Amino acid sequence: MKQKVNIVIEEGIIQSAKRRAAEEGRPLSDLMQDALVRYMRKKEATTQERRAAYHLFCERPMRIPPEQLRYVLQEDMWNL
C-alpha cells in the first residue's frame, strides 16, 4: 500500500527529477521511489566515499582518545 509523504528538497534537485520523470514518461513519485529503493539497498561505500574517508582518517594527523577511536572502529555505519 502506498502512503503519501511530505518532504523538503532543494529546488534544483526537484526540477531535475521532474525533467527526468518527464523524459522517461513516468510519474515523479515512481522516479523518487525507485531512487529511494536503490539507496536503501546500497550496502557498500562508493569509491568517492572511500577516498574521502581515507583522506579524513589517514592523511591528516588526528588526536583522539583511545576509547573514542575504539568506539568509531566498532560502530557499523553501513548497517541501517
Render pLDDT for 2-41 as a digit per residue (tens, 0 to 9): 888 898 889 999 999 999 999 999 999 999 999 988 888 8
Residue 65: all three cell numbers together: 582518545
What pTM did the predictor assign? 0.50
pLDDT of residue 47: 83
Domain layout of the chain by residue ranges:
11-41
In whole angstroms, what is the distance from residue 13 CA to residue 56 CA? 28
pLDDT of residue 33: 93
pLDDT of residue 46: 78
- Which DSSP letter does residue 8 get? -
Higher per-residue pLDDT: 33 or 49: 33
Residue 14: all three cell numbers together: 526537484
Residues 30, 37 contacting (CB under 8 angstroms): no
Longest dimension (CA), the chain: 54
Residues 21, 30 contacting (CB under 8 angstroms): yes
